[in-house]
Amino acid sequence: MYTLGIETSCDETSAAVVKDGSAVFSCEISSSAEFHKKYGGVIPEIASRMQLETITQVVDESLKNARVELKDIGLIGVTKHPGLLGSLLVGLSFAKAVSYSLNIPLIGINHLEAHIYSGFLNKKRSVSPTGFVALIVSGGHTNLFYIDDFDKIELLGRTRDDACGEAFDKVAKILGLRYPGGPIIEKIAQKGNPGKIKFKCSGTNSPLDFSFSGIKTAVLYYAKRRIKGEISDIAASFQEAVIDTLIDKSLLACKIKKTNKLVVGGGVAANSRLREKLSDAAKINDLRVFFPDKKFCMDNAAMVAGLGYRLFKKGHGSDLTLDSRDEDNF
């Protein structure tokens, strides 16, 4: 069965066609990032207006590139929350209109749960998406979950202050680098010595929670008195401390939940150093770790379509009263 996915939670407008919850036939993404640059952050009004202007074209492209027509679509999955309200409403209204006019079943999807599902897209060997720990690290969230199944999710830990990607973005700003900071820090860190400066993430009362605002401030004070040429060492040492914390807590969560399956998702999951170190740690600890393809780490509609199918097959669905209230409270 073909599922059409629609994702408009932040500055992207994305549409995808996914077959049977896994095979991605197309995934189109149009970003309004260019228009927010001069403001130093996403302006919700600009994002939702651009989404309104582009959504029809993006959906058309995704159908065309998948070589299917709307009449072939058996389900529409759409991001319902969390995200920018005006942006979410564009996707929701569009999805409802198509669902109603063509009588196609509709399902509203939680954006974070979709990030978790991204690890199961386009995989050669099919892996059961049940009984695993998920680490979601993005610009807005840092969470550890236990997924019994996608309709039985337990929140194990979350950030107490900044999100992990946000910390990368803020440290990049401190170092005079561009937004988004994650990919640039990763690149510069390759030339630096990760053991040069002893940065450390702050402790938290609950061992599975995270805190990144302390390390960001430590970088700020260090950077103020840095000598020229040290920027790559600062980036490498910061990145290493953050990655070590993500790994330690993920391994602890797997131990507590007695599972050997770990899935990582969200923008920061594109980080090569994290992928490399976590894969090594997994081998030593007898864990199986699943990363999404890099193109599915950032916001995209394929993960929404994939999870939509999974939940629909389990009997879930939405009607036209679907709205963006956040009942899950992640």
Interface residue list for ligand KG4 (CB under 6 A): 10, 138-140, 165-166, 168-169, 180-183, 186, 266-268, 270-271, 298-299
Dump the DSSP string for 146-185. Answer: EEEETTEEEEEEEBSSS-HHHHHHHHHHHTTPPSSHHHHH
Instruction: Give the whole-angstrom CA distance, residue 92 versus residue 275.
Output: 34
Torsional sign, CA 250, 253, 257, 258: positive
Minimal distance in Å, beta carbon 239 to ligand KG4?
8
Q: Which residues have C-beta within 8 Å of that of residue 8, sequence separation ≥ 6?
A: 14, 51, 55, 79, 83, 87, 88, 90, 91
Binder of residue 186, out of ligand KG4, Zn ion, none (CB less than 5 to 8 A by kind): ligand KG4
Minimal distance in Å, beta carbon 301 to ligand KG4?
13
Eight-class DSSP state of 287 = -
Q: Which residues are 241's β-sheet partners? A: none
Decide if residue 169 touches Zn ion (CB under 5 A): no
Q: Between 131 and 180, whose beta carbon lies closer to ligand KG4?
A: 180
Q: Between 75 and 189, whose beta carbon lies closer to ligand KG4?
A: 189
Decide if residue 299 touches Zn ion (CB under 5 A): yes
Decide if residue 324 touches Zn ion (CB under 5 A): no
Minimal distance in Å, beta carbon 296 to Zn ion?
11
Q: Which stretch binds Zn ion (CB under 5 A): 36-44, 149-157, 201-209, 296-304?
A: 296-304
Minimal distance in Å, beta carbon 165 to Zn ion?
9
Q: Do the Cβ atoms of 18 and 326 come closer than 8 Å?
A: no
Decide if residue 138 touches Zn ion (CB under 5 A): yes
Q: Between 183 and 214, whose beta carbon lies closer to ligand KG4?
A: 183
Burial 128-158 (b: 16+ CB within 10 A, else e): ebeebbbbbbbbbbbbbbbbeebeebeebbb
Q: Between 28 and 299, whose beta carbon lies closer to Zn ion?
A: 299
- The letter for the amino acid at 245 is T
Q: Between 237 and 324, whose beta carbon lies closer to Zn ion?
A: 324
Q: Which of 1, 114, 6 is nearest to 60 (CA)?
A: 6
Q: Between 83 and 157, whose beta carbon lies closer to ligand KG4?
A: 83
Binder of residue 194, out of ligand KG4, Zn ion, none (CB less than 5 to 8 A by kind): none
Binder of residue 105, out of ligand KG4, Zn ion, none (CB less than 5 to 8 A by kind): none
Binder of residue 181, out of ligand KG4, Zn ion, none (CB less than 5 to 8 A by kind): ligand KG4
Longest dimension (CA), the chain: 64
Instruction: Give the whole-angstrom CA distance, residue 272 versus residue 198.
Output: 21
Q: Between 73 and 172, whose beta carbon lies closer to ligand KG4?
A: 172
Question: What residues line the site for Zn ion (CB under 5 A)?
Answer: 138, 299
